[in-house]
Structure 1
């Protein structure tokens, strides 16, 4: 076999990405100094990141990055970030995440913004404020993309930025907003940073206005780090249910923003309002959010979520509560945020099926949301309709359009392949998790629970039903299942096909 992929260059640039994680660890280091907790943990973790990154950089071959090397770099960078991100958990040695598999699970879940957790106890009493803020920060770093951030700040990576962003960006195509790809990366990250700061400021204002008693500055920053990346981690064991209804209403629009294509905010900034209002994906995205929310609110109002305790339900006939719970849960699960204000694992089957449907839809391409993505569903629907039309009229030439643009046939094939692989992986995960759960007496999974666990990890959604509900965890799963979930989260964040391509012989030989 003749290898043509310059893996040394990909590994060397992966080292650069890992080395820069030490800079990100300054945030939990400062937190550790403020609270007097785990300072040595983060000093040691920073040293590990610099040492590992520097060692890998020595493999630099000085060659240009071609498409295969770009694909390999993106996959390795995300895997490497998750591994190094687990180091603080292991050095701290506290709680369930002191175990290597659990530490890697929590780190991968953070960087891929999945929000699934194996923490036995989510509390700053059990874990230091510094460890908890690092857990939040991993989601923020992964939300807009580690590689996108590196392109924005590092010239050596920006040279090949377009190729790298194409591999990392969520959705079937990359929108280049400015003449230079590095500038496009900076634009996206500035919008992302701006919305995060706005969130933290708003929550702090609500706190001092007496409308959010326990939303102090720490919680405001921590939840800003996980809301805009649609991550879902929270330092509170009850997630957003720990806060007042005012806070819950205030979080909803930020989750909707996070699931929106960030390119649209650039068009708004430039006064190109027509490009926003006429965008077919954006209109479908908002339409789906509103429609499913209204239907779910009706079910909750009618009594589909009986108050069973443990934050289990919504009082039938309470319109405000039904509307808030429906809007929050759909805004959270459709965008793969994973926050919760109610234990929907206790809701009846009709309401749970509706939530499952929302999980399959996903956010928009170019957003921080996970799932299949709205634009793919549009293409799949149009491709299906074209197939029906050509069955009746074989000679008809009918291109697929999204608004004014004709979708390339290669892109259509890619969308169909992705969607098929997505469903195959979810089905495989469902079977494996159900069978594997039978090996432990601590875990009992119904079919819908196993399905939701698989969907939640492949789609980077986080919570599911049953023991992995919004106030549950993945801790009881055997390590074999956790390792498969780690793999699912990794390939799910990178849109499946680029990572799976690495495991084919065609990728490595000429």
Structure 2
């Protein structure tokens, strides 16, 4: 089977055109705030759009058919092309003059990881700060399309199950046309972003800070406009509670938001993944809050201290940090690695949980954990009754063995890549805690890690090779492992 190179290049051109258009938004903001970076960002936008237009023009007669191989290439190299073009505003403006650092910051943005190499974020021009947040939002939009339209068709990591639950014709699916499904979810994504921006602005954030943090929240990215991240607003609990609500929504399945908005609330209450996701957040937050209240110190708000006190602060900071790790958002209100040794290990474990399928969150995903746990429990029954057919059930439906095996393979591969990732970082000079934390955080698209990469630090201390390696892990985790790895196999490129 010959590759349809022309359609691949055409789609790449379209991506560049979209990327350049978003850069123009950042240039417009730069001009409004007169931050001195307007021409640099505009030039980056023009260069990006020119390449996009040329690619689309020279492939305008392409055969409009994307098969499985083309799908893998478009997804993998699309993210890389977006990251390469996306670092131009940093380079042209001199905000991040080093190519390695600029690429790291950019791919961290598009993969919605939120790990940064910047020591003084607040010194950046506002246009660059907005572009930095927009890379999150663009990546988040892309993840919704991947989860809904592309990964299930490619058979990635058990996402076929999600394909059966959400998009496509028939039953309670959103719409028979996948493009219309994606449009509806984009509308929800955009609507949530606007709503959060308004609420944060009313709660006391400046409009600029509000829109940047909304872009980062809904994409579960984590880039902030402040060096202290959300800890900058520790004396304004209402702001942090607003972010908590929208982090929860961003980490849940966007299809459920559609059901809620169309009055199908029962579908949400019956959804198995949502029940587990909600339960995990509640139980883990209570456990962590008790540990913090009795064993650690947290910043107490100056706002009505008689009302808000240590109990509220312990609850708010632990709920915030549990959600920011589970949803892989990466915002920070406190350094959870400095609370207790138990809580350090506790939060390390949460890095492997992830949000819901069909959300913008990274990680392994709650749905996969459910299937693995259920299958593990059923193995006891199968051992006692070897001739019995005991299938795994999810949302009261039988899950095929193929999907179960796919999920198990994903989990094993994920853990193997985590170990390899830590070994490489250790080889590059990181201590054990930093290497293990950096690998788990990069692969899970979490952002903050442990050791020298802790929540109140950044990734600037990494050697250049370490930054490229972490960027590769971010891409692997964001694109569900198989998408990238299969393109690296010799078999993929053989003519069949």
Same fold by TM (over 0.5)? Answer: yes
Report SS of the residue matched to 2:351.
helix
For 2:334, the equivalent position in structure 1 comes to 342
Correspondence for 2:249: 257
Is the Cα contact below 8 Å between 1:267 and 1:273 reproduced in 2? Answer: yes
Question: Are residues 1:503 and 2:488 paired?
Answer: yes
Q: Is 1:170–1:368's contact at 8 Å kept on the other side of the alignment? A: no
Distance in 1 separating the partners of 2:67 and 2:252: 30
Query: Which of 398, 401, 407 matches 2:399?
Result: 407
Residue number in structure 1 paired with 2:228: 238
Q: After superposition, what is the alpha-carbon deviation per residue over 1:65-110, rounded to whole angstroms, capped at 9, x for unaligned?
A: 111111211111111111100011011113xx21001101000000
Change (3 A) 1:407 1:472: same
Q: TM-score, normalised by structure 2?
A: 0.91
What TM-score, normalized by structure 1, do the two folds share?
Answer: 0.88
Q: Equivalent residue for 2:79?
A: 78
Indicate yes or no: 2:413 matched with 1:421. yes
Aligned to 2:182: 185
Q: Deviations over 1:373-405 (max 9, x none)?
A: 000000111121222221221101011111222
- Between the aligned partners of 1:165 and 1:40, the Cα distance in structure 2 is 42
- Which residue does the alignment assign to 2:320? 328
Residue in 1 that maps onto 2:109 = 110
Work out whether residues 351 and 363 of structure 2, in 8 Å CA contact, stay in contact via their aligned partners in 1. Answer: yes
**What's 2:387 paired with?**
395
| Partner in structure 2 of residue 100 of structure 1 | 99
Q: In structure 2, what is the equivalent of residue 221 of structure 1?
A: 211
Deviations 1:261-283, CA, capped at 9 Å, x for gaps: 01111112222222110111000
Q: 1:168 and 1:80, CA in 2 relative to 1: closer, same or farther beyond 3 A? A: farther
Identify the residue that residue 443 of structure 2 maps to in structure 1. Answer: 458
User: Structure 2 vs 1, CA of residues 192 and 169 (structure 1 numbering), >3 Å: closer, same or farther?
Assistant: farther
Contact 1:361 1:373 in 2 (8 A): yes
More moved, 49-58 vs 101-110: 49-58
Task: Classify 1:395/1:505 alpha carbon distance in 2 versus 1 (closer, same or farther; 3 Å).
Answer: same
Q: How many residues align?
A: 471
- The superposition leaves residues 88-146 of structure 1 with CA deviations (integer Å, 9 ceiling, x where unpaired) of 1011113xx210011010000001100000112111xx210000110011101111317
Deviations 1:257-309 (Å, cap 9, x if unpaired)?
110001111112222222110111000000000000000000000123578xx
Given that 1:171 and 1:364 are in contact with CA atoms closer than 8 Å, whether structure 2 keeps it comes out as no
1:170 and 1:386 map into 2 onto residues whose CA distance is 21
Q: Judge conservation of contact 1:336–1:369 (CA < 8 Å) in 2.
A: yes
Residues 335 and 162 from structure 1, CA distance in 2 versus in 1: closer, same or farther, beyond 3 angstroms?
Answer: closer
1:32 touches 1:38 (CA, 8 Å); kept in 2? yes
CA distance in 2, matches of 1:423, 1:461: 16
Inter-partner Cα distance in structure 1 for 2:288 and 2:193 = 29
Residues 300-352 of structure 1 deviation map (CA, whole Å, 9 limit, x = unaligned): 00123578xxxxxxxxx921111011100001101000001001232221011
Residues 328 and 361, structure 2, Cα contact 8 Å, conserved in 1: yes
Q: What's 2:4 paired with?
A: 6
Question: For the structure 1 residues 182 and 169, does the alpha-carbon distance in structure 2 shift closer, same or farther, using more than 3 Å as the test?
Answer: farther
Checking the alignment, whether the CA contact within 8 Å between 2:250 and 2:359 is kept in structure 1 is yes
User: What is the SS of the residue equivalent to 1:145?
Assistant: helix
Q: Which runs of 5+ in 2 are unaligned?
A: 168-173, 300-308
CA RMSD of aligned residues (A): 2.0
**Match of 1:483?**
468
Deviation at 1:488, TM superposition (A): 0.9
Query: Which one of the candidate residues 130, 134, 141 is aligned to 1:133?
Result: 130
CA deviation map 1:3-44 (0-9, x unaligned): 633334213311211122111112211111111121111211
User: CA contact under 8 A between 1:148 and 1:165: conserved in structure 2?
Assistant: no
Deviates more, 1:59-68 or 1:336-345: 59-68
Distance in 2 between residues matched to 1:493 and 1:241, nearest whole Å: 27
Change beyond 3 A, Cα 1:168–1:216: farther
